[in-house]
């Protein structure tokens, strides 16, 4: 096993609300907590905490509490921050929903999570309401934050003037959030993260990431994704920094917000790094306030990282994790710039890791010098999920008897503890940081009347980013085109799940048991690229 080069940290036995806001000083209460990046409107920590307590009180007065699951479908706005923590303050569980989801996607998550309430905004209401009604949620339990006739609003919650409830929960076992993850292969599953998981991961990462109170942190990564939830929504608040919210990514707005709000710490995913490194618009904005960029959610190429660092004259860090570990397990600390930008840095405190051979299952020895052989990365610590909701089999397949979570990623470790992800044994596709399960797209493709068989893998586009590509076998005498296949999928999935390349083949490679051999298709792609 190997652990962090940093000393273990104490993890308070507290709810996430008490951990983040319970020790605010008078001076900190008057600091700016959230800035709406579009309008410039801001709220202080004092106002934020008051709103959180009012939301919690209003929900509790309506019978919400421990055991209640509430869906939250909302882009990054100041209102999200108050409602998210207000729900947690009430003792209920939040299941955050991707803002790009179709009504069918939303309904599946509401049904699977057991949600009895849904919180959303008017631009998303049509699809959200259809999904909620299909899941048995009435209009009275659909909160529209910015107001809509026939539904409660955020203003209604804030004006209810009900005291925040006194709740008694065990932070180690009480499920705080239920984000959905495809894990290593299959359809999305509810990841049960406790208050302790969330508290632990902020505590593990805060000193290594290095956000300080004077930072303005650009919040463009979605709060519904565990990356945005932990390192933006929670860690920035714990550090008493100011969050600048960005409801929808637009590159020009991204540059303008950094310039106008003097953002100093920016969290991104690799596709944004490509634009920062290459786009000529960058030269038209003053980005000199940025001192650090941290990339996560998908692998960042070392040369691309260097190009971004040079162009903006800033530090660039990389992190690694999974929804199932809340999510940060490894990162390049702010004081360790000697580490390779192509690596994911070192293990965060309070975690144990090991590499195991994918051939033999044996542990791979950490070398006394140099770099180890590659193996699957296994991690264990207080930030590892409780398990998958209502899916004991998937939980057992992911977390072994010793408490190690099998990441499905292939890594090496150096004698100094530097971890580099070199491959992925899991078949999940990571498109711009979003998870896409190939099996989900394959099942959809097979509903097309002219498709006899299909397989989906991730391939690199011109910028080296992973996109979903479909291999399709058509029925005899079919004249269906690649464009028609892609359009068929586009009409039925969230935008990030779209198939972006199609190749027609005679047969899908499969094992004797009928399992799709995606590794053979990946090998074919590599051969074609050479």
What CATH number should be reported for the domain holding residue 52?
3.40.50.980
Tell me if 500 is assigned to some domain: yes
Tell me if 116 is assigned to some domain: yes
Closest CA to 15 of 211, 153, 164: 164
Q: Give strand ranges (E) for 447-512.
A: 451-460, 466-474, 501-504
Q: What is the pLDDT along the chain (530 residues), one digit of tens a residue?
A: 999 999 999 999 999 999 999 999 999 999 999 999 999 999 999 999 999 999 999 999 999 999 999 999 999 999 999 999 999 999 999 999 999 899 999 999 999 999 999 999 999 999 999 999 999 999 999 999 999 999 999 999 999 989 999 999 999 999 999 999 865 556 789 999 999 999 999 999 999 999 999 999 999 999 999 999 999 999 999 999 999 999 998 999 999 999 999 999 999 988 788 889 888 999 999 999 999 999 987 777 788 889 999 999 999 999 999 999 999 999 999 998 788 888 999 999 999 999 998 878 899 999 999 999 888 999 999 999 999 999 999 999 999 999 999 998 889 999 999 999 886 656 778 888 787 878 778 878 988 999 988 999 999 888 888 899 999 999 999 999 999 999 999 999 999 999 999 999 999 987 654 667 888 898 888 888 77
What is the reported pLDDT for 100?
87
Residue 69: how many other CB atoms lie within 10 Å? 20
Tell me if 509 is assigned to some domain: yes
Report d(CA 467, CA 433) in Å as an integer.
11
Tell me if 104 is assigned to some domain: yes
Q: Which of 153, 168, 183 is the last residue of a domain?
A: 168
What is the reported pLDDT for 452?
87
Distances (CA, A) of 530 to 464, 523, 524, 525: 15, 11, 10, 9
User: SS3 letters for 457-473?
Assistant: EEEECCCCCEEEEEEEE
Longest dimension (CA), the chain: 74
Report d(CA 216, CA 34) in Å as an integer.
9
Q: Which of 168, 196, 219 is the last residue of a domain?
A: 168
Q: Which two tokens stand for residue 265?
A: 């710490």
What CATH number should be reported for the domain holding residue 498?
3.30.300.30
Closest CA to 332 of 221, 411, 417: 417
Residue 343: how many other CB atoms lie within 10 Å? 22
Tell me if 23 is assigned to some domain: no
Residue entry with tokens 């005291």 = 163
Burial class (CB in 10 A: 0-12, 13-18, 19+), 371: middle
What is the reported pLDDT for 276?
92
User: SS3 letters for 238-286?
Assistant: HCCCEEEECCCCCHHHHHHHHHHHCCCEEEECHHHHHHHHHCHHHHHCC
Tell me if 395 is assigned to some domain: no
Q: Which of 168, 188, 210 is the last residue of a domain?
A: 168
Residue 107: domain span: 45-168
The pTM of this model reads 0.85
Residue entry with tokens 């106002």 = 47
Report d(CA 79, CA 52) in Å as an integer.
10
Tell me if 392 is assigned to some domain: no
Q: Which two tokens stand for residue 348?
A: 């965060």
What is the reported pLDDT for 304?
84
What is the domain count for the chain? 2
Residue entry with tokens 């044994």 = 425
Tell me if 463 is assigned to some domain: yes
Three-class secondary structure of residue 333 per DSSP = coil
Calculate helix-pair angle for 78-89, 45-61, nearest 10 degrees: 50
């Amino acid at each position: 096993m190997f652990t962090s080069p940093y000393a273990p940290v104490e993890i308070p036995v507290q709810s996430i609300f008490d951990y983040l806001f319970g020790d605010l000083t008078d001076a900190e209460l008057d600091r700016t907590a959230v800035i709406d990046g579009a309008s410039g409107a801001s709220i202080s920590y004092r106002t934020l905490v008051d709103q959180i307590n009012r939301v919690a009180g209003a929900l509790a007065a309506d019978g919400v509490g421990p055991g209640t699951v509430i869906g939250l479908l909302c882009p990054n706005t100041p209102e999200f921050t108050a409602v998210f923590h207000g729900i947690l303050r009430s003792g209920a569980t939040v299941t955050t929903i991707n803002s790009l989801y179709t009504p069918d996607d939303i309904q599946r998550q509401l049904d699977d999570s057991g949600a009895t309430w849904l919180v959303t905004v008017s631009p998303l209401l049509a699809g959200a309401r259809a999904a909620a009604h299909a899941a048995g949620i009435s209009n009275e339990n659909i909160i529209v934050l910015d107001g809509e006739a026939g539904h409660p609003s955020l203003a209604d919650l804030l004006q209810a003037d009900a005291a925040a409830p006194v709740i008694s929960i065990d932070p180690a076992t009480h499920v705080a959030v239920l984000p959905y993850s495809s894990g290593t292969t299959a359809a999305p599953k509810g990841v049960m993260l406790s208050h302790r998981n969330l508290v632990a991961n902020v505590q593990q990462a805060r000193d290594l990431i290095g956000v300080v109170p004077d930072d303005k942190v650009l919040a463009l990564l979605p709060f519904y994704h565990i990356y945005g939830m932990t390192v933006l929504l929670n860690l920035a608040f714990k550090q008493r920094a100011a969050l600048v919210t960005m409801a929808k990514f637009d590159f020009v707005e991204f540059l303008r917000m950094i310039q106008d709000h003097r953002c100093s710490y920016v969290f991104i995913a690799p596709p944004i790094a490509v634009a920062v490194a290459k786009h000529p618009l960058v030269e038209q904005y003053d980005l000199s306030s940025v001192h650090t960029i941290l990339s996560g959610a998908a692998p960042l190429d070392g040369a691309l990282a260097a190009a971004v660092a040079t162009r903006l004259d800033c530090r660039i860090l990389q992190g690694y994790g999974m929804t199932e570990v809340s999510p940060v397990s490894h990162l390049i600390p702010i004081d360790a710039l000697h580490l390779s930008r192509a690596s994911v840095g070192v293990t965060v405190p309070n975690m144990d890791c090991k590499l195991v051979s994918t051939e033999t299952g044996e542990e791979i020895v950490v070398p006394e010098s140099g770099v180890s052989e590659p193996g699957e990365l296994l991690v264990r610590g207080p930030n590892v999920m409780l398990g998958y909701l209502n899916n004991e089999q998937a939980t057992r397949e992911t977390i072994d008897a010793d408490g190690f979570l099998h990441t499905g990623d292939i890594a090496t470790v150096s004698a100094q503890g530097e971890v580099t992800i070199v491959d992925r044994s899991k078949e999940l596709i990571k498109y711009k940081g979003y998870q896409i399960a190939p099996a989900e797209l394959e099942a959809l493709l097979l509903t097309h009347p002219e498709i006899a068989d299909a397989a989906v893998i991730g391939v690199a586009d011109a910028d080296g980013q992973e996109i979903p590509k479909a291999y399709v076998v058509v029925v005899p005498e079919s004249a269906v085109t690649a464009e028609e296949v892609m359009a068929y999928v586009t009409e039925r999935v969230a935008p990030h799940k779209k198939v972006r390349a199609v190749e027609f083949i005679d047969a899908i490679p499969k094992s004797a048991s009928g399992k799709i051999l995606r590794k053979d298709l990946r090998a074919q792609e590599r051969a074609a690229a050479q």
